[in-house]
């Protein structure tokens, strides 16, 4: 933007009464007030990300995505909005249904009207990346029906993409895009396959980058390696910590977050783990204890602690 042209600015903060979406100009002065309510079609929502489409023949367009919470785990609704560059006019775009909101947006600089958006907390029917080639009139899902390569993270076969906090199209290559999840980064090199109904291929590019939360790590006596308890991922055995574990190294049944794991030093095949599972509305999180005699995958004996 040059001179005194308006520049929309979005801001989100904890402890503020309302989200902020204001306009600025070339001398950095701001119109609007801190804590000012988002107006028009975006009223009441928190902006998460935004991007410009400079190539629109009818003038620069400004896309904003957001929802009713900061996330990453408490958004219940949201929308995608399209404004002109002055933000004097705008409208909410219609995307396929589902719960949750939106967190990521990216405009393809090589083709006007081509935009990617990502959902957040869309637990039903599942988080998704949507693509439009006509400025938001129609949308195509890029994850449902796609192919996935997991060579650098075979354990991800039990983890579908979620918490998609952002998505980006490579400004130098319209075939290339990346999106982040709650456990790593997915990438594609054939994004435009979606234009003619083809299958988009996603690759888990996470060598040397692990987006997990280890809560406890225990050495395995006599045999090397470790067993670890993770947030969301459960219990995973690492025969070689330098190599990504496979599906067979992930404890079953998979029950989500495992706060702790213990190994019997005199009998390393005997292990115990704790898990947190969502039980009911009146008892949202319940603790369970599981025990295995096999030292690897099977932990079928589960009991609720007394009291």
Average the pLDDT over 119-131 and give the result.
95
Cα distance between residue 176 and residue 173, in whole Å: 6
Check: pTM over 0.85? Answer yes or no: no
More confident residue, 35 or 182: 182
Cα distance between residue 88 and residue 105, in whole Å: 21
257 with 275: CB under 8 angstroms?
yes
Q: Where are the domains of the chain?
A: 7-204, 214-303
- Mean pLDDT taken over the chain: 79
The residues facing 52 across adjacent strands are: 62
131-181 pLDDT tens trace: 999 999 999 999 999 999 998 888 888 788 999 999 999 999 999 999 999
> In the chain, count of helices (H) and strands (E)?
0, 23
Cα distance between residue 21 and residue 189, in whole Å: 34
Q: State the pLDDT confidence band at 91, using cuts at 50, 70 and 90.
A: confident
Predicted pLDDT at 305: 41
Predicted pLDDT at 88: 64
178-205 pLDDT tens trace: 999 988 899 999 999 999 899 999 999 8
259-307 pLDDT tens trace: 999 998 888 678 888 887 655 444 444 455 555 544 444 444 444 443 3
7-204 adopts what CATH topology? Methylamine Dehydrogenase; Chain H (2.130.10)
């Amino acid at each position: 933007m040059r001179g005194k042209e308006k520049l929309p600015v979005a801001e989100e903060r904890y402890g503020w009464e309302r989200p902020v979406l204001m306009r600025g100009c070339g001398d950095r002065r701001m119109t609007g007030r801190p804590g000012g309510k988002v107006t028009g079609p975006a009223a009441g929502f928190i902006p998460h990300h935004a991007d410009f489409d400079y190539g629109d023949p009818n003038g620069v367009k400004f896309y904003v995505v957001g929802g009713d919470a900061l996330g990453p785990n408490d958004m219940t609704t949201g929308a995608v909005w399209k404004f002109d560059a002055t933000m004097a006019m705008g409208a909410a775009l219609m995307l396929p249904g589902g719960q949750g909101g939106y967190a990521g947006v990216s405009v393809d600089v090589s083709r006007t009207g081509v935009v990617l958006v990502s959902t957040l907390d869309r637990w039903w029917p599942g988080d998704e990346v949507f693509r439009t080639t006509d400025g938001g009139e129609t949308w195509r899902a890029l994850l449902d029906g796609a192919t996935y390569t997991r060579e650098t993270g075979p354990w991800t076969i039990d983890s579908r993409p979620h918490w998609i906090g952002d998505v980006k199209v490579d400004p130098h290559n319209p075939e290339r895009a990346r999106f982040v999840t709650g456990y790593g980064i997915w990438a594609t090199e054939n994004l435009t396959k979606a234009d003619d109904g083809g299958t988009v291929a996603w690759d888990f590019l996470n060598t040397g980058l692990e987006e997990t939360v280890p809560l406890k790590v225990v050495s395995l006596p006599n045999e090397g390696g470790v067993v670890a308890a993770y947030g969301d991922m459960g219990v995973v055995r690492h025969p070689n910590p330098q190599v990504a574990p496979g599906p067979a190294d992930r404890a079953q049944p998979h029950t989500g977050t495992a706060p702790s794991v213990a190994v019997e030093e005199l009998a390393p095949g005997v292990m115990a783990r704790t898990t947190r599972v969502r039980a009911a509305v009146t008892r949202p999180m319940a603790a369970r204890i599981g025990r295995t005699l096999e030292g690897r995958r099977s932990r079928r004996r589960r009991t609720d602690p007394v009291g």
